[in-house]
Amino acid sequence: MVRIAQSSPIILTAPGIRRGALLLAPVALFFIPFGLAFGVAASTKGMAATQSMVLSLLAFSGSVQFSTLDLWHATIAYGTLALVVTAVNARHVVMGAALSPWINRLPLRQRLPTLALLNDANFAACQTAFRSGERDMGLLLGSGLVLWAGWVLGAVAGAFAGTSIGDPVALGFDVVMLCFLAAMVAGQANRPLSLVPVLVGAAVAILTLPLLPQGWNVIVGAFAGGIAGSWFHA
């Protein structure tokens, strides 16, 4: 369990936001082709450019947005759509819980916009910084803002370009995020037992992939990894 001395103030500053943006600016460049791919895919599914742009501005969840395209028909099953969004984004519950020792000490007016931009990349980078003593939540907000900007920029370009630019995934951009997260996990593996939750969660997620609906294998893997981590750190 993470314990933070009450004498260590949790702050959110403009310099912290700037540092967060600079920290993940290189990763944000690779969010552009992801957004581009979504904009192109949305246009092929019959989604208007304005619709895909608004969705990207408000949702900022690539996996969810791609999942919704399979449900984009003349008649939309809103209940099914809600379940898909909940399942795919359920990992944010785990990420929010991991950040709670720091983020919950911010005023609500600062906490909500910061968490609205939470994603896998800035969680992985910022949690490591917070555990190492960082106390400026601007790092989380700034990194989220720059990643969101990269995603929206790509989505807007893809929405207007349509299918004329081909498939950006064919260039190999789809593996960049996987490599980044793998590097972040490896950097925190300072002893063999710290890898146990990662290996257990990954194994369960992979084994249940063909057995569960899209996204649910990630949730099951996260719970399995959490249980394994609690067991070995008890």
User: Tens digits of per-residue pLDDT, 51-83?
Assistant: 888 988 988 887 778 777 767 765 666 777 777
At 134-154, the pLDDT tens digits run 999 999 999 999 999 999 999
pLDDT computed for residue 210 by the predictor: 87
Token pair, residue 206, equals 């992979």
Torsion of CA 91, 95, 100, 103, to 10 degrees: -120
Cβ-contact 144, 61 below 8 angstroms? no
Burial pattern 100-139, b for ≥16 Cβ within 10 A else e, equals: eebbebbeeebbeebbebbbbbbbbbbbebbeeebbbbbb
Q: How far apart are CA 206 and CA 201, in angstroms?
A: 9
Confidence of residue 1 (pLDDT cuts 50, 70, 90): very low
At 101-128, the pLDDT tens digits run 999 999 999 999 999 999 988 998 899 8
Residues of the chain with pLDDT > 70, as a percent, come to 78
User: Would you say residue 4 has pLDDT above 60?
Assistant: no
pTM over 0.75: no
Confidence of residue 191 (pLDDT cuts 50, 70, 90): low
- Phi then psi for residue 233, to 5 deg, are -110, 5
- Ranges of each domain in the chain: 14-177, 189-234
- Phi then psi for residue 11, to 5 deg, are -125, 170
